[in-house]
């Protein structure tokens, strides 16, 4: 099939590479978000999908909105049979959905209908799910509600951050997306409606949502920090300054007051509503990432000070 691939971040790269290498399909163009500022210098850079497409000599479309008339005219001219989507990051109007004869097929990183929305992997970790996965489905107007073609599953490890889990799902999901497109081309794969039960929503986790509440149990603190690693980054305040926190280790049987910081030569513990947790890496505001023990040597908490 003639494909126009839509995607933006690194998460989409395994799928794009797989489809570029597929002998059964031709990626005639990619659709991605406009170039954006990134990095310390805030320089304008193309998206990871745009960079890979340009390296492969594939046309890159960067509409401000997917309903822009010039974009729709070019999409129609390309005559795609299908438009696979992985983390594109913008809404698709019906005028765009109607162009390819096989529609737009999305790779979504959850087992639908669970965790529809922008942050399925983060919410799966935050809520303590043991199993997650990826689904391919036909895009319709309603958010992540279209009929499902296929699913792969993945165990959530107790040490998984959202970044590590999403990296694994992006690889297994790429195989699922390719197999889905093969089945659509063959006419051997039929999408099935999602069940009405079990729908959960996974909205984007904002920076404000990533502040650690030390009055919660250690299990919740652990899940929140892992869910927010690497983005948007879990944080707390110490002496009025924001400190970004990496994954922690629950220390069974060790008790401190919620938020209380206890530092030794070898470890930094912080109290929760249940067991204390041991900090791993921290990043003080305006400074580099460092080990918690190194941070404590610099700030010298007096034993009664707390994270807030």
Q: Which parts are annotated binding residues for (6S)-5,6,7,8-tetrahydrofolate? A: 110-113
Q: How far is CA 263 from CA 6, 260, 270, in A?
A: 48, 10, 9
Interacting residues of 108 by C-beta distance below 8 A, sequence separation 6+: 116, 120, 134, 135, 136, 137, 144
**Residue spans of beta strands (DSSP E) within the chain:** 2-7, 26-31, 36-38, 43-45, 59-61, 83-86, 104-108, 131-138, 148-155, 235-238, 241-245, 249-251, 261-263, 268-270, 276-278, 281-284, 290-291
Where are the alpha helices (H) located in the chain, listed in sequence order?
Answer: 13-21, 48-55, 69-78, 94-97, 120-126, 162-186, 218-227, 292-299
User: Strand pairing partners for 148?
Assistant: 137, 192
For the annotated binding site, the residues are: 110-113
Interacting residues of 30 by C-beta distance below 8 A, sequence separation 6+: 4, 5, 6, 7, 16, 49, 50, 53, 58, 59, 60, 61
């Amino acid at each position: 099939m003639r494909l126009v691939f839509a995607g933006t971040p690194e998460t989409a790269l395994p799928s794009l590479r797989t489809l570029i290498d597929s002998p059964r399909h031709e990626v005639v163009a990619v659709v991605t978000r406009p170039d954006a500022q990134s990095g310390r210098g805030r320089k304008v850079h193309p998206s990871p999908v745009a960079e890979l497409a340009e390296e492969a000599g594939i046309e890159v479309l960067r509409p401000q909105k997917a309903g822009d008339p010039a974009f729709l005219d070019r999409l129609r001219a390309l005559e795609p049979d299908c438009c696979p989507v992985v983390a594109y990051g913008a809404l698709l109007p019906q005028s765009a959905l109607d162009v390819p004869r096989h529609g737009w097929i999305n790779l979504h990183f959850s087992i639908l209908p669970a965790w529809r929305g922008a942050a399925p992997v983060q919410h799966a970790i935050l809520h303590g799910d043991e199993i997650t996965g990826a689904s391919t489905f036909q895009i319709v107007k309603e958010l992540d509600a279209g009929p499902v073609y296929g699913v792969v599953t993945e165990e959530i490890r107790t040490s998984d951050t959202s970044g590590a889990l999403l990296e694994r799902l992006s690889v297994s999901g790429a195989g699922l997306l390719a197999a889905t497109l093969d089945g659509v081309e063959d006419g051997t794969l039929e999408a099935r409606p999602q069940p009405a039960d079990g729908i959960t929503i996974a909205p984007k986790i904002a920076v404000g949502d990533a502040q650690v509440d030390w009055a919660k149990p250690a299990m919740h603190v652990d899940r929140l920090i892992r869910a927010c690693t690497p983005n948007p980054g879990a944080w707390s305040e110490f002496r009025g300054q924001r400190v970004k926190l990496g994954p922690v280790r629950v220390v069974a049987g060790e008790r401190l007051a919620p938020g209380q910081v206890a530092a030794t030569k070898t470890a930094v513990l912080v109290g929760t509503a249940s067991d204390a947790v041991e900090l791993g890496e921290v990043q003080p505001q305006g400074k580099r990432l460092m080990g918690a023990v190194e941070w404590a040597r610099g700030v010298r908490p007096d034993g009664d000070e707390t994270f807030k």
